[in-house]
Chain A
Amino acid sequence: MEWKESIPTRYAYGEELVVLGHELPNLVVLEADISKSTQTYRFAKVFPERFFQMGVAESNMMMVAAGLATTGKIPFASTYAVFGTMRACEQVRTFIAHTHLNVKIACSHGGVTPGNDGVTHQATEDLGIMRTIPRMTVIVPADYYATRKLVRAAAYHVGPVYLRFTRDPVPVIYSAEDEFVIGKGKLLRSGDDVSLIAIGDMVAIALEAHEQLAQQGIHAEVIDIHTLKPIDRALIVQTARKTRRVVTLEDHQIHGGLGSAVAEVLGEESPTPMRRIGLRDTFAESGEYRLLLQKYSMDSAAVIAAVKELMS
Chain B
Amino acid sequence: MPISQETVEFLEHQARVIRRRIIHMIYAAQSGHPGGSLSAADIVTALYFHFMRVDPSNPQWPQRDRFILSKGHACPVWYAALAERGFFPVEELVTLRQINGRLQGHPDMEKTPGVDISTGSLGHGLSAGVGMALGLRMDGYDARVYVVLGDGELNEGEIWEAAMAAAKFQLDNLIAFVDYNNLQLDGWCSEVMPIEPLRDKWRAFNWETFEIDGHSMRQIVDTIEAAQHVHGRPSVIIAHTIKGKGVSFMENQCDWHGRAPNKEEYERAMAELEDGPTAAKPIL
A59 to chain B, nearest CB (A): 5
Given contacts A67-B127, A71-B62, contact A60 B165 (CB under 8 A): yes
Are A55 and B165 in contact, CB atoms less than 8 angstroms apart? yes
Check A66–B117 contact: CB distance below 8 A.
Answer: yes
- Please determine whether A98 and B118 come into contact, CB atoms closer than 8 angstroms: yes
Output the residue of B124, B128, B131, B157 with the most chain A CB within 10 A. B131
Binary flags per residue of B156-185, CB closer than 8 Å to A gives 1, else 0: 011001101100110000000000000000
From A64, A72, A91, A98, give the contact of B134 (CB < 8 A).
A64
Contacts of B169 in A (CB 8 A): 52
B7 at interface by CB-CB < 8 Å: no
B135 with A63: CB separation less than 8 A: no
Residues 51-103 (chain B) with a chain A CB within 8 angstroms: 62, 66
- Other-chain contact of B135, A70, A90, A95, A100 (Cβ < 8 Å): A70
A94 in contact with B121 given A64-B165, A72-B62 (CB within 8 Å) = yes
Closest B residue to A71 by beta carbon equals B135
- Give per-residue flags for B121-135: 1 if the beta carbon is below 8 A from chain A beta carbons, else 0: 100100111111111
How big is chain B's contact interface, by range? 20 to 34
**Residue B204 interfacial (CB < 8 Å):** no
Query: Is A94 in contact with B118, judged by CB distance below 8 angstroms?
Result: yes
| Docked CA distance A28–B169 (Å) | 15
B110, B121, B127, B134: most-surrounded residue (chain A CB, <10 A)? B127
Interface membership of B139, Cβ < 8 A: yes
Cross-interface CB contact of B158 among A28, A50, A59, A68, cutoff 8 Å: A59
Chain B residue with minimal CB distance to A88?
B158
Determine if A60 and B127 form an interchain contact, defined as CB atoms under 8 angstroms apart: yes
B116 adjacent to chain A (CB < 8 Å): yes
Interface contact B121-A67, CB-CB below 8 Å: no
- The residues of B that contact A55 with a CB separation of less than 8 Å are 161, 164-165, 168
C-alpha gap A100/B157 in the complex (Å) = 25
Instruction: Given the known inter-chain contacts A67-B128, A90-B121, A94-B121, please indicate yes or no for A57 contacting B165, CB distance below 8 A.
Output: yes
Q: Is the interface of A mostly helix, strand, loop or mixed?
A: helix
Kindly report which residue of chain B lies nearest to residue A65, judged by CB atoms: B131
Residue A99 CB within 8 A of the other chain: yes
**Contact in complex: A63, B131 (CB < 8 Å):** yes
Q: Specify which of B66, B132, B158 lies most central, judged by the most chain A CB atoms within 10 Å of its CB.
A: B158
Do A95 and B164 touch (CB < 8 A)? no
| Residue B41 at the chain A interface, CB threshold 8 Å | no
- Are B131 and A99 touching (Cβ within 8 A)? no
In this complex, what residue of A is CB-closest to B137?
A71
User: In the assembled complex, which residues on chain A have CB atoms less than 8 Å from the CB atom of B128?
Assistant: 63-64, 66-67, 70, 95
Residue of B nearest to A62 (CB): B127
Question: Are A54 and B165 within 8 A (Cβ)?
Answer: yes
A68 and B117 within 8 A (CB): no
Q: With an 8 A cutoff between CB atoms, is A69 at the interface?
A: yes
Docked-complex contact A71 and B132, CB < 8 angstroms: yes
Complex CA gap A49/B130 in Å reads 16
Which residues from A are CB-within-8-Å of B43? Answer: none
A148 at interface, CB cutoff 8 A: no
Residues of A within 8 A of B138 (CB): 28, 49-50, 71, 73
Q: List 28 A-B contacts (CB under 8 A).
A: A55-B164, A57-B158, A62-B127, A63-B124, A63-B130, A64-B127, A64-B128, A64-B131, A64-B162, A66-B128, A67-B127, A67-B131, A68-B135, A70-B109, A70-B132, A70-B135, A71-B132, A71-B139, A72-B135, A73-B138, A75-B131, A91-B127, A94-B120, A94-B121, A95-B117, A95-B118, A95-B124, A98-B118
Which residue numbers of A lie inside 8 Å of B, CB to CB? 28, 49-50, 52, 54-55, 57, 59-60, 62-73, 75, 90-91, 94-95, 98-100
Using CB atoms and an 8 Å cutoff, list the residues of chain B in contact with chain A: 62, 66, 109-110, 116-118, 120-121, 124, 127-136, 138-139, 157-158, 161-162, 164-165, 168-169
